[in-house]
Amino acid sequence: MKLTDGQKTTLISCAVLLGLSFGALYYFDFLWGDGIINGYTTRTKAAMTKLETLKKNETEYKSLKESSELLRELKANFDQAAQRWQPDPTLTIMDILFESFELTGVGFTNISRSDPQDLGLYNETVYSIECFGRFHELGMLMNLLEDNEQRFMRIKSFTIDNDKVDDRPSIQHALIELGVYTFNPRPAAAQGAPATTTAKAPAARVTED
């Protein structure tokens, strides 16, 4: 079919417009397309980083919240324990020792006490206890003294020898060095050689095997 001059003109115009459109699209993609894609990629990465930070902050917040709840629980338990533990100010160390001897069946022959030694924030008084009993009774005695709720005490040293009491092989002699500690609100003073005072007490009765 033979095209008329008008049809040829129209076809040429369409071809020119189509070419211009493709050229414009190529020009836009070349100049602006990469920038838009790069900008979108940058914003996406920033959003992901922010999201990870929020997740991390949420985890830290939960951890801090759990720690805070644990601290509140520990404080409540401490307050309850402090209310239950009310030391008797009238109870002396000798009262505690005599009670411990009675509970364990351990006998004693001598108790000596050093003068308090100023150690700065607290004073230390050492009691030397010469006693006798069975091995398990001596162990019970030391546990009772260290776990006593009325005073802060610890066993500094102890020795058990093989000397028999009344020719009874089950009863052993022991020397226990007991440190007793009290709070010292005064500044630390110069420490001198501790003097020693001695208190004699009658030996407790030893039950027969």
- Using the 3D structure, point to which of 60, 86, 112 is the last residue of a domain: 86
Say if 1 falls within a structural domain. no
Give the pLDDT band (50/70/90) at residue 84: low
Say if 35 falls within a structural domain. yes
- Using the 3D structure, point to which of 66, 86, 106 is the last residue of a domain: 86
Do 62 and 124 lie in one domain? The reply is no
Q: What is the pLDDT of residue 166?
A: 63
Query: For the residues 8-34, what does the mean pLDDT come to?
Result: 61
Overall domain count for the chain: 2
- Using the 3D structure, point to which of 38, 60, 86 is the last residue of a domain: 86
Query: For the residues 75-89, what does the mean pLDDT come to?
Result: 68
Say if 3 falls within a structural domain. no
The residue behind tokens 């008084």 is 125
Do 194 and 100 lie in one domain? The reply is yes
Q: Which domain holds residue 125?
A: 93-199
- Candidate ranges 65-69, 87-91, 148-152; pick with highest mean pLDDT: 148-152
Give the pLDDT band (50/70/90) at residue 201: very low
Q: What is the pLDDT of residue 66?
A: 80
Do 29 and 69 lie in one domain? The reply is yes
Q: DSSP string covering 72-129, please? A: HHHHHHHHHHHHH----TT--HHHHHHHHHHHHT-EEEEEEEEPPEE-SSEEEEEEEE
